[in-house]
Amino acid sequence: MSRARPDTKTTSPLRSGSSTGAGDRVFRGLSRGAGIALLGIMAAIAAFLLIRGLSAIQGDSANFLTEQRWAPKDDPPTFGIAAIAFGTVLSSLIAMALAVPVAVGVALFISHYAPRRIAIPLGYVIDLLAAVPSVVYGLWGIRFLVPRLEPLHQWLGAHLGFIPLFEKSAAGSRTMLTAGVVLAIMILPIIAAVSREVFLQVPRDHEEAALALGATRWEMIRAAVLPFGRPGVISAAMLGLGRALGETVAVAMVLSPRNVISLHILNPEGNTIAANIANSFGEADDFARDALIASGLVLFVITLIVNASARLIVARRREFAGAAI
């Protein structure tokens, strides 16, 4: 007597073309919509800055790009972004020079040197520091860092004052160097966290091959880890630079603003675009606010140029860019 065989035929989700295709279409539509929305938001920001900024620039009695003074409430209005744009770039370069080497070293220590019981907690600490609000860094800088950097300023001025960069002719430590140190401490966790994740993605076979050929650990890092992670480190550095360029509260709290172009980073002089906006916006009238928006337009353009330059640098390392980013 024959028994009917149960129907064991099942439909695999991988073979279900309708459901899988519908999911792909939904995901593709959401991704495309998110990209279009992001471009639309950036275009709206750019249009707002252009409309409000150009109206103020047309009423400026000085050259907006070369004037150092910032006095939009004078009669006639006189303001320009030469000094504050210079200060923005200078403070960010100081921060990058201090933060990037330390951040890369911290990332290498966590990923390739530290024991696991130390690397995991240290990685958590780095991630937490990256999320600390900027006002906390500003309060720490003005209350703790500024008084303790005064001896360093005096020492640099006394021993390296023959270099124009370290010439000190005025007392005080609320200087561009202090602002750069605070910015470096702020961006260091971001650069270290991203660089650490990039270094952890290096193929294990590359590292083991270098060690098998007799390389020391440092030689293995130079030959296998750093070339692979270079595009990611560049991207991490540009991410930190973007935060340094646009930082407002921390710089405004530790810097003694003075709108002059100066390379003397030990003197209390200089200002940044973001700090100038933070310090001036509350007392500004309608025209002065439009002038501040015009300076924000310049910062927007600087940020776009920095990001575009970073992409060009990364694109030159195409053999690693696809795996490291």
Give the pLDDT of residue 1. Answer: 44
**Number of neighbouring beta carbons within 10 Å of residue 139:** 15
Q: Determine, yes or no, domain membership for 59.
A: no
Give pLDDT, residue 19.
55
What integer pLDDT is reported at residue 208 of this predicted model? Answer: 87
Tell me the two tokens of residue 14: 């991988």
What's the pLDDT at 93?
93
- Could you tell me if residue 13 is inside a domain? no
Residue 196 near residue 123, CB atoms below 8 Å = yes
The pLDDT assigned to 322 comes to 46
Q: From 275, 274, 270, 273, select the one nearest 252 (Cα to Cα).
A: 275
Q: Count of CB atoms within 10 A of residue 31's CB?
A: 10
Asked if the structure places residue 64 within a domain, the reply is: no
What span, in angstroms and rounded, lies between the C-alpha atoms of 51 and 45?
10
Given this model, what pLDDT does residue 324 score? 42
Q: Is 33 inside any structural domain?
A: no
CATH number at residue 279: 1.10.3720.10
For residue 312, being part of any structural domain is answered with yes
Tell me if 62 is assigned to some domain: no
Q: Where are the alpha helices (DSSP H) in 76-175?
A: 82-108, 116-130, 134-140, 146-160
Q: Specify if 90 maps to a domain.
A: yes
Q: With contact defined as beta carbons under 8 Å apart, do 138 and 278 qualify?
A: no
Residue 77 φ/ψ region, left for φ over 0, alpha for ψ in the -120 to 50 degree band, beta for the rest: beta
Domain hosting residue 164, numbered range? 70-324
Asked, for residue 57, whether it belongs to a domain, the answer is no
| pLDDT, mean of each 10-residue run, the chain (325 residues) | 48 51 84 91 90 88 88 87 91 93 93 89 88 88 89 88 84 87 92 91 87 87 88 88 86 85 86 89 86 91 84 65 44
**Spatial contact of 91 and 251, defined as CB atoms under 8 Å apart:** yes
pLDDT of residue 109: 93
Q: What is the reported pTM?
A: 0.84
The DSSP secondary-structure symbol of 109 reads I
**Domain total for the chain?**
1
Instruction: Tell me the three state secondary structure of residue 60.
Output: coil
User: CA distances (Å), 293 to each of 47, 85, 124, 234, in order?
Assistant: 12, 14, 38, 30
126 closest CA partner among 144, 150, 99, 161: 99
**pLDDT for res 18:** 53
